Amino acid sequence: MTGRPVPEGALYYASSKRRRTVSIDGALRQGVEATALAVRGMLAAATLPPPLAGELAAQRCKGCSLKDRCQPEAGASPALEAVRAHLFDPDA
Ligand code: SF4
Mean pLDDT, the chain, whole residue set: 88
Nearest alpha carbon, ligand 1 atom 1? 67
Say how many Å lie between the CA of residue 2 and the centre of ligand 1. 35
Residue 84's pLDDT band, with cuts at 50, 70 and 90, is low
Does residue 13 register a pLDDT over 70?
Answer: yes
Nearest alpha carbon, ligand 1 atom 6? 70
pTM of this structure = 0.60
Determine the Cα–Cα distance for residues 19 and 8; give it in Å rounded to an integer.
Answer: 13
Ligand 1 atom at minimum distance from 64 CA: 2
Nearest alpha carbon, ligand 1 atom 3? 61
Torsion sign across C-alpha atoms 31, 32, 33, 39 = positive
Select from 78, 82, 74, 30 the least CA-distant residue to 50: 74
